Amino acid sequence: MANMLNSPLSLVENPSFIAFDLDPGCVNAARAMGFPVYFADASRPDVILEMVGVKSPKAVIVLYPDPDLAVSTVRSYRAMFEDVPIYAQSVDL
């Protein structure tokens, strides 16, 4: 999340993404810059996407430091969205 705030993406008006983070500092900084970032655990797509009104994402990006959580989250999204591209990054993934 912190890298996103320093990237060219931060110059885009009306970004077409929603992000979730568990670091309140990152969430507050991103929201202050106008990004649609929510303090939430995105590992439960059935709950989190309904919360923000997303029925069918165009893509999913999973960034967790815990490899087991990353794999579990990817599996959850894949089960719900068979044809949606999923990009994942974790330690030793």
Residues 19-38: what's their mean pLDDT? 90
Digit-coded pLDDT (tens) for 34-57: 888 999 988 889 888 888 888 889
Burial class (CB within 10 angstroms; exposed 0-12, middle 13-18, buried 19+) of 42? buried
Confidence (pTM):
0.75
CB 20 within 8 A of CB 44: no
pLDDT grade for 14, boundaries at 50, 70 and 90: low
**Residues in a beta bridge with 37:** 19
Q: What pLDDT does 2 receive?
A: 47
